[in-house]
Amino acid sequence: MLPFKVVCWNCGKEARRDEWRWQDDCGGAFDIILDLQSRKFTELIDAKEENIRRYAQFLPVEGLLSVHQGWTPIVKKKISGVEVNFKLEYLSLGGSFKDRGAYVSVAKAKELGATGIIVDSSGNAGISFSLMALLSGIAIDVFVPKHAPEGKKNLLRLLQANVHEIDGDRMEVNREAIKAEREGLVYVGHWWNPYFIEGEKTMAYEAYEQIGGVDYVVVPVGSGTILLGLYKGYQELVELQALNKVPEIIAVQACGYSEICKELGARKECVTKSKLADGIAITNPPRREQIVEAVKRTNGHGIIVDDEEIKEPLVELRKLGFIVEPTSATAYAALEQSIKEGFIKPKSKVLLPLTGSGLKLVDELIEIKECLKM
């Protein structure tokens, strides 16, 4: 494991590494800063492992579970003259990209002595954390909005999580989860937890090994962990002399939950709030400023999509063989718009993670299909 520091993003103060903390006294979120020691990427990889443990040297945690996590396939397609690389994150053990962050976070919480963990989630993060908690033999309390999809809630119960349904929006669910913290029971919610981002960054490492560098990354933004993870992963790849530059990041949000994209200059007339993109229905994520800064630094931009624009791409993705949730289709919708509007140049190379499985949301997918009469 490379040496690392835990640093507050807001005030720059360093925190202790031997206790679980999710927020600094100043109110800021923490980041992990690795000391890469002028090393090269390839010399630090454990090539025997075809899973996240391949990158154990870059992860600030001991005792990662011996289960297959990560190393998801990439499928290449030519779309409107652009090479699009779909990374099939939805084929992960828990059916979403959030497995990566949960895998690293649960190992860290356990390493620091937690006997149980608390998360807040619209569904996917709760499922990933519950699966990792089950595999690690620790207890888990999951706080979800009452209106979260039934399929996701049932799966949480099957995974032996204590499910708390909160009558309120996603921000209210977050407040309730934080209130439940007590001795030995730590809040590991992905909105704040820096170890979650460390797990997510492995997606960039994998994509680099699978297809080399890319020109653009298109990602849905809810709490922003996939975006910040990819950004950090690519930044480290540059520092490790594997790549020359971080790809341009295209952040995608849905109507009603689009503050980050608005700050990035995206404009759209939204008639109603998105009901379909439940995975990114977050009004004010704590790492908002950090996300905006990351996108700007890559010369990226934001795209806002509405529910009508998600429906067709969702069907198109199925026709390509990808059974994904509506939230994943936001990125595909944004890809098509970005190509049309010239944000994505012809003949360029794009990474597009397909974030979550549609198998958790069959009822919702049928509803959409009926709306479209297809």
Among 10, 23, 57, 348, binds Zn ion (CB under 5 A): 10
- Contact indicator for 160, 368 with CB cutoff of 8 Å: no
- Is residue 132 within a helix (H) or strand (E), and if so which, with residue range? helix 124-136
Stretches 19-27, 51-59, 173-181, 296-304: which one binds Zn ion (CB under 5 A)?
19-27
* 35-64: burial string, b at 16+ Cβ within 10 Å, e else: ebeeeebeebbeeebebbbbbbbbbbbeeb
- Does 11 help bind Zn ion (rule: CB under 5 A)? yes
Least distance to Zn ion from the beta carbon of 16, Å? 13
Least distance to Zn ion from the beta carbon of 31, Å? 11
Output 31 or 336, the one with its CB closest to Zn ion.
31
Stretches 5-13, 34-42, 246-254, 297-305: which one binds Zn ion (CB under 5 A)?
5-13
Least distance to Zn ion from the beta carbon of 8, Å? 3
Output 131 or 228, the one with its CB closest to Zn ion.
228
- Contact indicator for 223, 254 with CB cutoff of 8 Å: no
Stretches 8-16, 47-55, 185-193, 364-372: which one binds Zn ion (CB under 5 A)?
8-16
Output 11 or 372, the one with its CB closest to Zn ion.
11
Least distance to Zn ion from the beta carbon of 289, Å? 13
Output 24 or 336, the one with its CB closest to Zn ion.
24
Output 24 or 307, the one with its CB closest to Zn ion.
24
Stretches 1-9, 65-73, 135-143, 158-166: which one binds Zn ion (CB under 5 A)?
1-9
Output 26 or 362, the one with its CB closest to Zn ion.
26
Count of positions on this chain that bind Zn ion (CB under 5 A): 7
- Contact indicator for 87, 96 with CB cutoff of 8 Å: no
Least distance to Zn ion from the beta carbon of 13, Å? 5
- Number of residues assigned to the chain: 374
Least distance to Zn ion from the beta carbon of 235, Å? 21
Q: What are phi and psi of 12, to 5 degrees?
A: 80, 0
Question: Using CA atoms, how far apart are residues 154 and 297, in angstroms rounded to an integer?
Answer: 40
**Which strand ranges, in their side-by-side order, compose the sheet holding 139-145?**
162-166, 139-145, 116-120, 185-187
Using DSSP, state whether 351 is helix, strand or coil.
strand
Task: Name residues contacting Zn ion, limited to 47-106 (CB under 5 A).
Answer: none
Stretches 4-12, 51-59, 124-132, 287-295: which one binds Zn ion (CB under 5 A)?
4-12
Least distance to Zn ion from the beta carbon of 323, Å? 42
DSSP-assigned letter for residue 42 = H
As a whole number of angstroms, the longest Cα–Cα distance in the chain is 57
Residues ≥6 apart with Cβ < 8 Å to 104: 52, 59, 61, 64, 195, 196, 198, 199
Output 8 or 140, the one with its CB closest to Zn ion.
8
Least distance to Zn ion from the beta carbon of 192, Å? 12
Task: Name residues contacting Zn ion, limited to 21-40 (CB under 5 A).
Answer: 24, 26, 28
Among 6, 7, 8, 226, binds Zn ion (CB under 5 A): 8
**Closest listed residue to residue 223, CA positions, set 270, 288, 316, 131:** 288
Output 12 or 212, the one with its CB closest to Zn ion.
12
Least distance to Zn ion from the beta carbon of 27, Å? 7
Output 10 or 348, the one with its CB closest to Zn ion.
10
CA distances from 309 to 54, 263, 270, 331, 359 (A): 38, 21, 11, 11, 21
Per DSSP, which regions of 62-120 are E strands? Answer: 74-79, 82-87, 116-120
**Closest listed residue to residue 161, CA positions, set 143, 174, 145, 183:** 143
State the residues that interact with Zn ion by CB under 5 A.
Answer: 8, 10-11, 13, 24, 26, 28
